[in-house]
Amino acid sequence: MGAAFNNLMEEETKEFLAKMCCKLMDELAVKPSRQYEFLDEDFLELMNDIGRLGHEKFGADAFEIAGGKRRIARHQKEEILRHARQHLAAYEQGIRHTRLNTMGHQLAAAAFNSMLEFYFSQGE
């Protein structure tokens, strides 16, 4: 069916459609594909690793299941900030993340904990 339609179409129309497609492709190529232009995608990937690790480690007590409510001690402001500071101190001392074994994951864990505090503080 495509070939029959193509045969019926005038050469001028084919050329017009081809130019339109090329123009659209050019426009798509110059648009940034990143949603957050000032955030590093590799770092966000490391933060996601931290979130996945927490989800696996804490299960029903994982932050995303808590629904923004500080129901357990680990979700209290002081505990979240202490945990973030621990990751920063470990990074500063050159200690790799305990479970994921990279320095980048230490920074990502500190950032992730900061995000957790933001998350829980929105419900207050």
pLDDT in tens, 73-101: 999 999 999 999 999 999 999 999 999 99
Task: Report how far residue 69's alpha carbon sits from residue 19's, in angstroms, rounded to the nearest whole number.
Answer: 55
| 2-15: pLDDT as tens digits | 565 556 556 666 66
- In the structure, what pLDDT confidence band is assigned to residue 1 with cuts at 50, 70 and 90? very low
Coil, strand, or helix at residue 114? helix
Q: For the chain, which residues make up each domain, given as ranges?
A: 1-31, 41-121
